C-alpha cells in the first residue's frame, strides 16, 4: 500500500501536471481567442516599425554613399586639376607687310623654335631718292638665329620672296615652297651667288612638314600666280591659319580650285587664330575669274586690226602671260618679251611646265622689225610705271629696240598699286603724246585682281571659324575694313587685333596679349649697298634735289689764322652763278666775316669755324631766296 500509495501519490501529481499542462494549453488556446485583434495590431506595429527602421537605414546608407561619392568626386577633381596641363601660347611677330604694300614677313615662335612665313621686298616711294629696293630689318632674326627652324613661302611674288636672298646672306636656313616658287627663288639666289649653299625644299599642297615643334600643312589657294599656298601652322597652342594672298576662282586657268574642303575641316577641328589678306577688303562682291581676262583680250586683239599690240602686265602673272600668248597664237601673231624679270619668269615657267608655249611662237626683241605690225605682240614689264621699266623707257623714247608710234595699240593689263597712280598716269600721258592708243580703263576688262573681295573674305572666315582674327597684308584702311567684316561675321571685337610692323603678340586660348615691340624698320638697298643708306642720307638727297648745294672753300694759315685764299663760292642745283653774281659776292663777304670773327675771338677749332660759316651763309641764302640749299664749308689749312 505504502508503495501503491506512493505510486498513487506520485501519479496524482503527474496527472495534475498533465492536466495543468492541458489547462495551460487550453488556457493558451482560450486566451488566444479573445486576444486575436491585439496581437495582430502589435504585429502590424512591429512590422511598420521594422519597415520604418529599414527605410531610415536605407536612407542613411544612401546619404553615406552620396557623401562618399561627393568626397571621391572632390578627390578626383583635385587630382584632375593637378594633372591639368597649363595653357600653351604662341608668339607672332610682324616684321613687315602692315600699313604698307609689300615687304611681307611674319615670325612664329613657340618655346625655343621659330618659323618664318615669307620674306618680301617693297618698292621705294617717290621721296626715297636713289633707293632701289626696301627690305625688312632682320635684327630680331639675327639675334635669335639659333631658334630658327626654317622659312616657308606662300608664293613667288616679289613682295613675298624678294628679300629672301638678303636674309640668306645673314642666316642660311632651310626654305620650303612649291615647284614654281622654288624655281623663282633659285633665280634670285643665283643672281646673288647664293644658290650653291642654299637649302631649298620643294613641297606640294597637302604636304605637312615638321619644323621643330611646329607642324606646317600646305593648302592650295588661287592667286594671280600658280602654286600659291596658305599654311595651317600647328603647335601645342593650337592651329593658326595664314591665308597668304588668295581669292576664290571657280574657273582657274590651271584647273586647281582653292581647297575649300580642307579649310572647312580645319574649322571643324578648331582654329585658334586666322591671318587673312586685306588687299581688297574695301571692294564689295567677288573677284572675277582670271579666265574672264582671256575673253577681253581676244576682243581687243581682234579690234587692233593692222596695228602692233604692246601689252604690259606683272612679270610674275604666269596665267596672264599664258592667256596673252594663247590669243596671239590664235590670231597668227608672234610674241616678243621686253624686260629681264619677264624673260626670267617665262623661262622658268616654261621649263617647269607652268607655261605652254609652242616652238617658234616666241621671238627675240631684236627681231620685231622683221615682222609686220599686225603679226606682232610685245609683252612688257612696267605696268606700275616703274622709272627704269621697259614700258617707261618706251614712253620716254629711251628703249633701244622699241619705238612708239601711231600704229601701236598699248594695253596696260594691271591696276596701279596704291601710291603708283601718278607714275602710271605719267607713262600713259607720254605714250599718248607719241600717238599711241592706250587702253587702261577697268571697263575694258583687261585685268582682274588676284586678291579676295569682301564676300570671299567673309566666306573664308565663316568656313575657318577662328577664335581670334588678325587682318594682314594691306594699308591701315584695308586692315580696319577687314576687321569690321570680321565683326559683322560674329567674331567679338575683343578677339580681333589690328597689328603694325614691330608688334609681337602672344596668343593662347585665354586671349591675345601684346608684348614688347621687336625691331621692324626699313632697310634701303642702293646698288650693291644694303643698309648703308639711312634716313639721314635720304634727307640729304631730298634736300639736294629740292634746293641744291652751295660749297664754300677757303684756305687759312694754320699758325696765324690769316685767310690766304678765298672764300670761294660754288653752287650745284641752286642758282646759276653768272646770273646771280651779286648774291654770290654777298655770300663770299659773309663767309669771310664769319672766319675773321672766329679768329678775332680766338676760336681755332676748325669744326667750329666751319659750322659758323655754314650757319651764316645758310641764313643769307634763305633770306634772299627763301630756299635752304645744303651748305658744305671746306676750310683748308697750310
Convert the pLDDT of each residue in 188-221 to its tens digit. 999 889 999 899 999 999 999 999 999 999 999 9
pTM above 0.85, yes or no: no
Assigned C-alpha cell, 615: 650757319
Active-site choice (157, 319, 451, 482)? 451
The answer to whether the CB of 185 falls within 8 A of the CB of 79 is: no
- pLDDT value of position 365: 95
With cell 605682240, the residue in question is: 377
Contact 563, 554 (CB under 8 A): yes
- 265 close to 219: Cβ distance less than 8 angstroms: no
Q: Which listed residue (118, 159, 245, 277) is catalytic?
A: 277
Per-residue DSSP letter, 155: -
The 10s digit of each residue's pLDDT in 321-340 is 999 999 999 999 999 999 99
Q: Give the model's pLDDT for residue 536.
A: 58
Report the C-alpha gap between 397 and 394 in whole angstroms: 5
User: Residue 176 corresponds to which cell in the numbers above?
Assistant: 620650303
- DSSP of 348-386: HHHHHTSS---TTSEE-GGGGGGS-GGGEEEEES-TT--
637 has a pLDDT exceeding 80:
no
- pLDDT of 16 above 80: no
Q: What SS3 state is found at 42?
A: helix
Phi-psi region of 431 (alpha: psi -120 to 50; beta: other; left: phi over 0): alpha
Q: Alpha-carbon distance 592 to 577, whole Å? A: 18
Q: Using 50, 70 and 90 to split pLDDT, how confident is the model at 598?
A: confident
Q: If you average pLDDT over residues 353-367, what whole number do you get? A: 93
Alpha-carbon distances of 443 from 311, 340, 446, 496, rounded to whole Å: 16, 30, 8, 36
In this structure, the number of other CB atoms found within 10 A of the CB of residue 586 comes to 16
Q: Is 593 helix (H, G, I), strand (E, B) or coil?
A: helix
- What pLDDT is stored for residue 68 in this prediction? 46
265-274, 298-307, 487-496, 540-549: lowest mean pLDDT where?
540-549
Report whether pLDDT(33) > 50: no
* Helix ranges (DSSP H) in 469-534: 476-488
| Cα dihedral sign, 557-562-563-565 | negative
For residues 476-501, give the mean pLDDT.
96
Evaluated on CA atoms 347, 348, 350, 355, the torsion sign reads negative
| Mean pLDDT of the region 331-350 | 94
For 48-82, write each residue's pLDDT tens digit.
455 555 555 555 555 554 444 444 434 444 444 55
Q: What is the mean pLDDT of residues 96-125?
A: 93
Strongest mean pLDDT among 18-22, 30-34, 275-279, 625-629: 275-279
Confidence (pLDDT) at 87: 85
Q: What is the pLDDT of residue 414?
A: 92
What pLDDT is recorded for position 24? Answer: 36
Residue 542 banded pLDDT, cuts 50, 70, 90: low
Using DSSP bridges, classify how beta strands 522-526 and 105-110 pair: parallel, antiparallel or unpaired.
Answer: unpaired
Residue pLDDT, tens place only, 286-323: 999 999 999 999 999 999 999 999 999 999 899 999 99
DSSP state of 418: T
42, 185, 191, 541 from 320: Cα distances, Å: 106, 20, 25, 38
Which residue would you say has higher pLDDT here, 564 or 454?
Answer: 454
What is the spatial distance between Cα 307 and Cα 407, in angstroms, rounded to a whole number?
Answer: 5
Is the confidence at residue 494, as pLDDT, over 60?
Answer: yes
Sign of CA dihedral 28, 33, 37, 38: negative
Sequence-distant (≥ 6) Cβ neighbours of residue 625 within 8 angstroms: 575, 583
> Mean pLDDT of all residues in the chain?
84
Contact 490, 483 (CB under 8 A): no
Report pLDDT digits (tens) over 130-189: 677 889 999 999 999 999 999 999 999 999 999 999 999 999 999 999 999 999 999 999
In the residue annotation, 451 being an active-site residue is answered as: yes
User: Cα(236)–Cα(249) distance, rounded to whole angstroms?
Assistant: 33
Q: State the Cα–Cα distance between residues 127 and 259, nearest whole angstrom.
A: 42
DSSP state of 601: T
CA distance 399 to 391: 8
Q: Under a CB-based contact definition with an 8 Å cutoff, are residues 280 and 453 in contact?
A: yes
Q: How confident is the model at residue 108 (pLDDT cuts 50, 70, 90)?
A: very high
Helix, strand or coil, per DSSP, at residue 237: coil
Can you tell me the distance from the alpha carbon of 70 to that of 81, in angstroms, rounded to the nearest whole number?
Answer: 16
Are 204 and 220 spatial neighbours (Cβ–Cβ below 8 Å)?
no
Among this protein's residues, is 155 annotated catalytic? no
pLDDT tens per residue, range 61-70: 555 544 444 4
Cell of 189: 639666289
Amino acid at each position: 500500500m505504502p508503495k501503491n500509495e506512493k505510486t498513487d501519490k506520485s501519479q496524482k501529481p503527474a496527472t495534475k501536471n498533465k492536466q495543468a499542462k492541458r489547462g495551460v494549453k487550453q488556457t493558451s488556446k482560450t486566451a488566444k481567442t479573445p486576444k486575436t485583434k491585439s496581437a495582430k495590431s502589435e504585429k502590424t506595429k512591429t512590422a511598420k516599425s521594422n519597415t520604418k527602421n529599414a527605410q531610415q537605414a536605407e536612407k542613411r546608407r544612401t546619404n553615406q554613399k552620396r557623401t562618399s561619392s561627393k568626397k571621391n568626386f572632390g578627390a578626383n577633381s583635385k587630382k584632375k586639376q593637378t594633372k591639368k596641363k597649363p595653357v600653351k601660347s604662341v608668339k607672332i611677330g610682324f616684321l613687315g607687310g602692315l600699313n604698307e604694300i609689300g615687304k611681307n614677313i611674319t615670325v612664329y615662335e613657340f618655346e625655343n623654335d621659330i618659323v618664318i612665313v615669307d620674306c618680301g621686298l617693297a618698292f621705294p616711294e617717290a621721296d626715297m631718292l636713289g633707293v632701289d629696293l626696301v627690305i625688312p630689318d632682320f635684327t630680331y632674326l639675327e639675334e635669335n638665329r639659333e631658334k630658327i627652324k626654317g622659312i616657308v613661302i606662300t608664293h613667288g611674288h616679289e613682295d613675298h620672296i624678294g628679300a629672301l636672298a638678303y636674309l640668306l646672306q645673314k642666316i642660311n636656313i632651310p626654305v620650303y615652297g612649291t615647284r614654281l616658287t622654288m624655281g623663282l627663288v633659285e633665280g634670285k639666289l643665283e643672281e646673288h651667288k647664293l644658290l650653291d649653299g642654299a637649302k631649298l625644299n620643294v613641297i606640294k599642297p597637302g604636304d605637312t612638314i615638321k619644323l621643330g615643334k611646329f607642324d606646317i600643312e600646305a593648302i592650295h589657294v588661287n592667286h594671280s600666280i600658280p602654286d600659291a599656298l596658305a599654311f595651317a601652322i600647328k603647335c601645342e597652342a593650337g592651329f593658326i591659319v595664314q591665308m597668304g594672298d588668295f581669292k576664290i576662282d571657280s574657273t582657274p586657268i590651271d584647273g586647281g580650285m582653292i581647297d575649300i574642303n580642307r579649310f572647312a575641316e580645319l574649322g571643324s577641328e578648331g582654329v585658334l587664330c586666322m591671318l587673312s589678306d586685306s588687299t581688297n577688303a574695301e571692294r564689295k562682291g567677288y573677284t572675277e575669274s582670271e579666265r574672264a581676262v582671256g575673253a577681253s583680250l581676244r576682243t581687243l586683239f581682234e579690234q587692233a586690226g593692222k596695228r602692233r599690240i604692246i601689252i604690259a602686265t606683272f612679270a610674275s602673272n604666269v596665267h596672264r602671260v599664258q592667256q596673252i600668248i594663247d590669243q596671239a597664237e590664235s590670231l597668227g601673231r608672234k610674241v616678243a618679251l621686253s624686260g629681264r624679270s619677264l624673260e626670267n619668269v617665262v623661262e622658268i615657267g616654261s621649263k617647269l611646265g607652268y607655261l605652254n608655249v609652242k616652238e617658234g611662237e616666241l621671238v627675240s626683241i631684236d627681231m620685231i622689225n622683221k615682222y609686220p605690225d599686225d603679226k606682232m605682240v610685245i609683252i612688257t614689264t612696267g605696268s606700275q610705271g616703274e622709272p627704269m621699266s621697259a614700258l617707261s623707257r618706251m614712253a620716254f623714247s629711251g628703249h633701244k629696240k622699241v619705238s612708239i608710234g601711231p600704229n601701236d595699240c598699248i594695253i596696260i593689263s594691271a591696276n596701279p598699286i596704291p601710291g603708283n597712280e601718278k607714275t602710271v598716269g605719267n607713262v600713259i600721258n607720254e605714250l599718248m603724246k607719241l600717238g599711241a592708243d592706250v587702253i587702261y580703263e577697268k571697263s575694258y576688262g583687261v585685268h582682274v585682281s588676284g586678291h579676295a573681295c569682301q564676300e570671299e573674305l567673309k566666306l573664308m572666315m565663316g568656313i575657318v571659324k577662328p577664335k581670334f582674327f588678325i587682318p594682314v597684308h594691306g594699308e591701315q584702311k584695308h586692315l580696319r575694313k577687314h576687321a569690321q567684316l570680321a565683326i559683322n561675321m560674329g567674331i567679338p571685337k575683343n578677339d580681333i587685333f589690328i597689328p603694325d610692323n614691330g608688334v609681337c603678340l602672344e596668343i593662347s586660348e585665354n586671349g591675345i596679349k601684346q608684348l614688347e615691340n621687336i625691331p621692324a624698320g626699313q632697310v634701303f638697298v642702293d646698288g650693291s649697298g644694303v643698309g648703308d643708306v639711312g634716313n639721314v642720307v635720304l634727307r640729304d638727297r631730298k634736300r639736294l634735289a629740292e634746293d641744291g648745294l652751295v660749297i664754300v672753300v677757303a684756305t687759312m694759315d694754320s699758325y696765324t689764322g690769316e685767310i690766304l685764299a678765298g672764300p670761294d663760292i660754288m653752287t650745284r642745283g641752286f642758282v646759276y652763278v653768272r646770273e646771280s653774281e651779286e648774291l654770290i659776292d654777298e655770300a663770299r663777304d659773309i663767309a669771310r666775316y664769319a672766319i675773321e670773327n672766329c679768329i678775332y675771338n680766338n676760336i681755332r677749332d676748325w669744326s667750329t669755324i666751319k659750322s659758323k660759316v655754314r650757319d651764316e651763309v645758310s641764313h643769307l641764302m634763305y633770306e634772299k631766296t627763301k630756299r635752304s640749299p645744303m651748305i658744305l664749308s671746306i676750310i683748308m689749312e697750310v
